[in-house]
Amino acid sequence: MSNCIAPWANSWTPLFAASKNSPWRRQLEIPIAKAWGSGASSERKFNCTCAAPPMSRDDGVSSAVDRSNSLTSENVGVPRVAKDEFDFLIECRDVHKSFGEKQILKGVNFKIRHGEAVGIIGPSGTGKSTVLKIMAGLLAPDKGEVYICGKKRRGLVDDEEISGLRIGLVFQSAALFDSLTVRENVGFLLYENSKMPDNQIAELVTENLAAVGLKGVEDHLPSQLSGGMKKRVALARSIIFDNTKEAIEPEVLLYDEPTAGLDPIASTVVEDLIRAVHFKGDDALGKITSYVVVTHQHSTIRRSVDRLLFLYEGRIVWEGMTHEFATSTNPIVRQFASGSLDGPIRY
Ligand SMILES: Nc1ncnc2c1ncn2[C@@H]1O[C@H](COP(=O)(O)OP(=O)(O)OP(=O)(O)O)[C@@H](O)[C@H]1O
């Protein structure tokens, strides 16, 4: 099972979820991703609790694509707020990935810091979803490293590979388990891994569904929901956590095109929910420390993220704050923002 996506994680978070002998897992016939070469210990806990404001990077790109891949935060004059490596929850360093002969990622570098709301944008097929899967530990890079709270990840994510940072992935399709009710889908992790009694989990599920604007759907099957409702159920599933635990680990949520296929108003609902579950104080709906959104939608870029990474031809060719995107002088960004057929991006 090494070096492949865990099919069972073709859903949201259960990346660290169901125990190996779980009847749920057997029932669902979900194979488990095996970590390879993992020296990681389940005892490992990292201190990831420092906070940092969003990082801004000026549009200092003179050529369309910086082939030397010099756009890393260390060398573009970004004010260095981070005090040490633990300021960064996730870091991709020189990540390469190919599928067969096709080289998709050719040296991707970026860091996600505590408290950040980051968007990954770029033309179709450039590898944005692949980057998310690598961050989540569902795919291993061919070359390069992924650091979680300053510690190098070895292999793929496995039940034993609990690092002290929870990483959830919300797939574009919502990817609910068809044969489970909404309640079972949303409470999946807690039914599997927590010591909470079922009635308490059911209450928590109802609370989390209400938080995303859904009421009375607990006994529905996913097939009885609209596309927008499914996305909201997936969101509820991604924000639910065991509130009986004394310490809540920080969580990074990765959203793959969360608003694709939604009408403009449904998109706004989801975009605002993504913001609302970001932990910014006691009034937050959820406890999401940082999040990363892959999107093509301008409204999602505007409403949901503060900082953008532009992926093109296998590398991050531009980084900046969301408000800098529209006024960027980078030819790639300008073409992408305007949707023009003229420019360095060729289809
Ligand atoms: N498991 C896989 N096996 C083979 N090829 C793959 C696999 N996953 C992705 N690819 C290929 O890698 C490339 C990048 O795919 P990816 O889904 O990461 O792009 P993307 O930027 O998210 O695209 P889009 O914006 O269209 O969703 C595509 O050409 C895709 O066909």
Nearest to 157 by CA among 296, 14, 28, 261: 14
Q: What percent of the chain clears pLDDT 70, i.e. is strictly above it? A: 67
Tell me: pLDDT of 212 over 60.
yes
According to the per-residue pLDDT averaged within each range, which of 62-66, 106-110, 237-241 is highest? 106-110
Q: Are 203 and 196 in contact (CB under 8 A)?
A: no
Nearest to 128 by CA among 6, 256, 15: 256
Pocket test for ligand 1, best of 4, 106, 129 (most atoms within 8 A of CB): 129
Nearest to 253 by CA among 228, 229, 236, 230: 236
According to the per-residue pLDDT averaged within each range, which of 79-93, 262-276, 278-292 is highest? 262-276
Give buried/exposed letters for 221-231 (b at 16+ CB in 10 A, else e).
bbeebeebbbb
Locate the ligand 1 atom nearest the alpha carbon of residue 122 and give its number. Answer: 21
CA of 33 to the centre of ligand 1 (A): 20
Tens of pLDDT, residues 215-234: 899 999 999 998 888 888 88
CA distances from 217 to 53, 94, 276 (A): 38, 44, 21
Protein residue with least CA distance to atom 16, ligand 1? 127
Tell me: pLDDT of 286 over 60.
no
Protein residue with least CA distance to atom 24, ligand 1? 124
Nearest to 118 by CA among 253, 262, 277: 253
What pLDDT is recorded for position 267?
83
- Tokens encoding 259: 């608003």
Range of lowest pLDDT (140-144, 162-166, 293-297, 341-345): 162-166
Q: Stretch 90-94: mean pLDDT, rounded? A: 94
- Top-confidence residue, 151 or 314: 314
- Element containing residue 309 per DSSP (H, E): strand 307-312
For 132, the 3-state DSSP assignment is helix
Q: How confident is the model at residue 161 (pLDDT cuts 50, 70, 90)?
A: low
Locate the ligand 1 atom nearest the alpha carbon of residue 296 and give its number. Answer: 25
What pLDDT is recorded for position 247?
62
Q: Are 332 and 64 in contact (CB under 8 A)?
A: yes
Tens of pLDDT, residues 17-36: 333 333 333 333 222 222 22
According to the per-residue pLDDT averaged within each range, which of 78-92, 178-192, 276-290 is highest? 178-192
Tell me: pLDDT of 60 over 50.
no
Q: Stretch 89-95: mean pLDDT, rounded? A: 94
What pLDDT is recorded for position 280?
58
Q: Stretch 148-164: mean pLDDT, rounded? A: 68
* Burial group, residue 49, by CB count within 10 angstroms (0-12, 13-18, 19+): exposed
Tens of pLDDT, residues 304-320: 999 999 999 999 999 99
Which ipTM was obtained for this model?
0.98
Measure the CA–CA gap between 226 and 263, rounded to whole angstroms: 12
Measure the CA–CA gap between 92 and 140, rounded to whole angstroms: 11
Q: Stretch 114-138: mean pLDDT, rounded? A: 92
What pLDDT is recorded for position 38?
26
